[in-house]
Structure 1
Amino acid sequence: MMALPAAARGTLVCAALCAAALAAPALRPGAHTPWTTLALLAALYACCELPARCRLLGRALGGAAPLGAGTFFPVLLAAALLLPPAAAALAALPGALAARVEQRPAGPRRVWRAAQLALAVWAAARTAELLGGPAALAPAQFPRILLVALAAAAVFSLVLTALDGAIRVAAERRPARTAWRGLLAPALAAHTVHGLAGLMTAVLWRSAYGPAAALFVLLPMYISCWVFAQYHRERAAHQGTIRALVQAVDLKDTYTRGHSERVGRASVLIARELGMAEDRVEILRFAGILHDIGKLGVPTRVLRKDGPLTPEERRVIELHPEYGHEIVRGIGFLGEARAAILHHHERMDGSGYPYGLRGDGIPEFARVVAVADAFDAMTSTRSYSRARPVDTALTELRRCAGTQFDPRMVHALARALDRHGWQTAVTSDEPAPAAPTPAGALPAPRPYADRAAGPRPAPRTGP
């Protein structure tokens, strides 16, 4: 506890003392505490938390036990409906103390979690008791017990949120006016669902079938949480793969460090303006981030060459889309992104590479990435060219629309930038050229995605 700020230690001690005081009446002689129900619910909650703590069980579940805080709150809310307030507070303690802690110091964090849950469950049980409590669990009381359960879940959520904000102020020294921001709405939504599951558990517990029947409510919930955890593990693995590939490109081509992430961001702006489904937007973001992954197959001396490229060097550069496609060929989750990586240098008039596709024959993702790529190349400062203003870059994109770029993608980017704006940054490790540009003589805009592609004449529009 010495690692904690004094305010955090004080908050922790106060919460623990309050929780102990509220739970103590259940331990007094003559309290008529339903120890069997209490022990079963406490053991059930602890068993639910155990796989996240135990490595052996975690491996048995494929390393994806549900780890999210609140996954098993239906058990606690069932306890709030079945037990007196003091006993309900005790039901939370074993599982809270056994729960997995990701950050240090682990001991104080477990004590805080146990005190926080004991206080929240006590408040929920007290609310249920005032509204009729266990007596309302009879089938004939269905509309009433539904309201009781929702009220208990709301109070449970409010207490947890209040304590979460308090520890933010005490331990993280956040301003009080912002400490609770964004906490209540998500908690209320989640805990309302937990309250309904807890209600079903409590009703079955009190039914003729007994406590064993209540497990049929928790089993599907546990399985769904396991599947959800698997999804997040897979998503984290995808993100890790993307990060590793991008870092490899950035290390090799320092001229365009940060370029890939910004192309991904611009691609997302275009996609959302076009109304693409969110699953496609995510894949398109991957396409933007990985569009230059083929540079890993291009000699470093060519990528970092400051002077003009020879015809042979230019041919080597123009192979990078095909190299990129080969690199990501076996990464199944990229889907349409693979086509964007291969074709993002195609042009609407058919003069692009590697295959000279034209018009709608170019995959949609590739047409989006081409515009995003060119836009960032023009608006980023590098050692070989100064950044252009956003308006200048958009003017150039519009001029090239129909010949090099898909006009629909250009218009979508313009609308998105008008709505959200754009923040540029220096992407080269080297300083920008010091010599001032003569007044009225801007260097020619270069909307062609990267310096490595070498200079090429701007496409003409019209006859």
Structure 2
Amino acid sequence: MRALPHAARAYVLCAVLAGAYCAAPAVRPGAAVPWATTALLAAVHAVGSRVRARWPEWCSPVLLAGAFLLPPAAAALVAVPGALLARVERPPARARRAWRAARLSLAVWAASCAFAALNGPGTLSALWALGDGAQAPAGQVSPGTPGFPYALAAAVAAALVLGLTATTLEGGVLVTAERQSPRAAWWGRLPGALAPYLVHGPAGLAMAVLWRSPYGPAAALLVLLPMYVCACGFVLYRRESAAHQATIRALVQAVDIKDRYTRGHSERVGRASAMIARELGMSGERLEALRIAGILHDVGKLGVPTRLLRKNGPLTPDERRVIELHPEYGDEMVRGIGFLGEARAAILHHHERLDGSGYPYGLAGAQIPEFARVVAVADAFDAMTSTRTYRRARPVPTAVEELQRCAGSQFDPRMVGALTRALDRHGWHAAVTADAPEERGNVPAEPAPPLVRAAAPGASDDPGGPRPGTGGPGGGP
């Protein structure tokens, strides 16, 4: 525990002492503990923790079955062997194992106490007696005894107590050891952490019922088979998601390295796109897809010659035509990435304009995909509010006024309104994207030029990023 902060050491020590105190009644002389059941459940949990160490929660029904079948003190012992034997990927290993054992022991003890408080054991005894049929003594089950629905409700409540206790304890470690804010450590994690236990509760109840059935523990363990399959699928999903994020990061880093003028621009456009999406009522997969669309909108610049992207002077008409190919380059680059979905349309069409004067295809109005209309607004807004080597950033209110002025001709008014509402609610904090002094040369900083020039109808924002003297708008490439 030498690597842990003092507050974290004290927190873990208190958790270990509390866990030992809760489990102590089970080892006192004369305690009525079904040791065979306790040992078998502990062994199953230990094996499960080793088999699927990256998602040990898949065998939470074993812990819940212990909470339903055993007294609270004995139930607290079920988690200890698995926690102590599980793999630890980061030091200090001993402290992490002790903490894991204490956390799970306290969580299972709390779940067992909750189940007992709800008369869950009595309901289970009635169910076992009913299951025995003719073997049950006459009058053992009274007509008023709660049935299976009550047992299920008690099991789900106990499972939620287990999840709540474990998540709350884990949040304390994040605060004391990793210096996370209490809001992030607790409130940000609780909803997602508790959801799986709505499934674990019924599974643990099924194990408990089958454990005392004529079929015995062997039948009860079959409940873990679908849980294991789900765990394998979940781990594969997480790996695939991590691979997707790594792909996106690699593409964005490549663009940032190539075009020093817009370093960091992609991440901010993704953030602004997500803000607009939330205001439009998007959520879940569509919200994430739109965020990715904003991040990858300029990936086609990888196909544009670097000398054009880094040119400090005005672009010639031929150079402009070359750079205006970058949306099509981007679409070709991501064609084989299936998980992008609607994001591809934004990559291809984010330079289209509502009046049909954009590129690459001159689409107008509703012909432009919704994702592209969102990213176009987010792209122009970030370009105007970011400081670059050739000009200073515009204030956010000025940029919003410019977007509103161009709404209906260049931008979708609905998207502009959504961004305006989001900024009023959340504000905007753009990072400075100016290059290091040694990369700036002698280009003087100057105010951003107007977004649309009345003297040049149909003119687009400089596709390579506005350069001094081009008269291009504040929109990004």
Distance 2:282 2:93 in 1: 44
Cα pair 1:374 1:449 within 8 Å, conserved = no
Is the alpha carbon distance of 1:340 and 1:168 closer, same or farther for their aligned partners in structure 2, counting shifts above 3 Å? closer
Distance 1:20 1:394 in 2: 60
Larger displacement relative to structure 2 (39-48 or 135-144): 135-144
**2:81 corresponds to:** 94
Is the alpha carbon distance of 1:162 and 1:395 closer, same or farther for their aligned partners in structure 2, counting shifts above 3 Å? closer
Q: Report the Cα offset of residue 77 of structure 1.
A: 1.6
Of 337, 357, 364 in structure 2, the residue corresponding to residue 358 of structure 1 is 364
Residues 403-445 of structure 1: CA distance to partner in whole angstroms, max 9, x if unpaired? 22222222222222223222223212146999897xxxx6532
Distance 2:406 2:196 in 1: 49
**1:63 corresponds to:** none
Identical aligned residues as a percent: 65
Q: Confirm or deny that 1:195 pairs with 2:163.
A: no
**2:450 corresponds to:** 445
Is the alpha carbon distance of 1:450 and 1:68 closer, same or farther for their aligned partners in structure 2, counting shifts above 3 Å? farther
Instruction: Give ranges in structure 2 of 5+ residues lacking alignment.
Output: 128-144, 453-460
**1:311 corresponds to:** 317
**1:72 corresponds to:** 59
- 1:45 maps to a residue whose letter is H
- 1:47 maps to a residue whose letter is V
Distance 1:82 1:195 in 2: 13
**1:388 corresponds to:** 394
What is the DSSP-based 3-state SS (H/G/I as helix, E as strand, rest coil) of the residue aligned with 1:422?
coil
**1:43 corresponds to:** 43
Larger displacement relative to structure 2 (383-392 or 408-417): 408-417
Distance 1:174 1:346 in 2: 43
Coordinate RMSD, CA, aligned: 3.1
Q: Report the Cα offset of residue 295 of structure 1.
A: 1.0
Of 316, 326, 333 in structure 2, the residue corresponding to residue 320 of structure 1 is 326
Q: Report the Cα offset of residue 297 of structure 1.
A: 1.2
Distance 2:179 2:401 in 1: 47
Of 232, 250, 266 in structure 2, the residue corresponding to residue 260 of structure 1 is 266
Cα pair 1:157 1:188 within 8 Å, conserved = yes
**1:415 corresponds to:** 421
Distance 1:231 1:185 in 2: 20
**1:103 corresponds to:** 90
Instruction: Report how many residues are paired.
Output: 441
**1:219 corresponds to:** 225
What is the DSSP-based 3-state SS (H/G/I as helix, E as strand, rest coil) of the residue aligned with 1:116?
helix
* Aligned residue runs from structure 1 range 292-307, under 5 A: 292-307=298-313
Q: Confirm or deny that 1:373 pairs with 2:379.
A: yes
Of 324, 332, 341 in structure 2, the residue corresponding to residue 335 of structure 1 is 341
Larger displacement relative to structure 2 (282-291 or 239-248): 282-291
Residues 330-370 of structure 1: CA distance to partner in whole angstroms, max 9, x if unpaired? 11111121222112112222222222222222222222211
Cα pair 2:384 2:448 within 8 Å, conserved = no
Distance 2:69 2:389 in 1: 70
TM-score of the two chains, using structure 1 as the length reference: 0.84
Distance 1:130 1:373 in 2: 57
Cα pair 1:394 1:414 within 8 Å, conserved = yes
- 2:76 maps to a residue whose letter is A
Cα pair 1:393 1:445 within 8 Å, conserved = no
Cα pair 1:339 1:366 within 8 Å, conserved = yes
Cα pair 1:314 1:453 within 8 Å, conserved = no
Distance 1:41 1:98 in 2: 15
Is the alpha carbon distance of 1:398 and 1:188 closer, same or farther for their aligned partners in structure 2, counting shifts above 3 Å? closer
Is the alpha carbon distance of 1:449 and 1:420 closer, same or farther for their aligned partners in structure 2, counting shifts above 3 Å? farther
* Aligned residue runs from structure 1 range 140-289, under 5 A: 140-142=145-147, 145-146=151-152, 148-150=154-156, 152-153=158-159, 155-157=161-163, 159-161=165-167, 163-168=169-174, 170-172=176-178, 182=188, 190-191=196-197, 193-289=199-295
Distance 1:212 1:327 in 2: 53
Q: Report the Cα offset of residue 256 of structure 1.
A: 0.5
- 2:388 maps to a residue whose letter is R
- 2:358 maps to a residue whose letter is G
- 2:360 maps to a residue whose letter is P
Cα pair 1:377 1:446 within 8 Å, conserved = no
Cα pair 2:22 2:109 within 8 Å, conserved = yes
Distance 2:183 2:313 in 1: 55
Cα pair 1:382 1:430 within 8 Å, conserved = no
TM-score of the two chains, using structure 2 as the length reference: 0.82
What is the DSSP-based 3-state SS (H/G/I as helix, E as strand, rest coil) of the residue aligned with 1:71?
helix
Distance 1:277 1:22 in 2: 43
Distance 1:92 1:362 in 2: 56
Instruction: Give ranges in structure 1 of 5+ residues lacking alignment.
Output: 54-66, 459-463
Residues 368-405 of structure 1: CA distance to partner in whole angstroms, max 9, x if unpaired? 21111111111111111221122222222222223222
What is the DSSP-based 3-state SS (H/G/I as helix, E as strand, rest coil) of the residue aligned with 2:465?
helix
Distance 1:184 1:359 in 2: 43
Cα pair 2:252 2:296 within 8 Å, conserved = yes
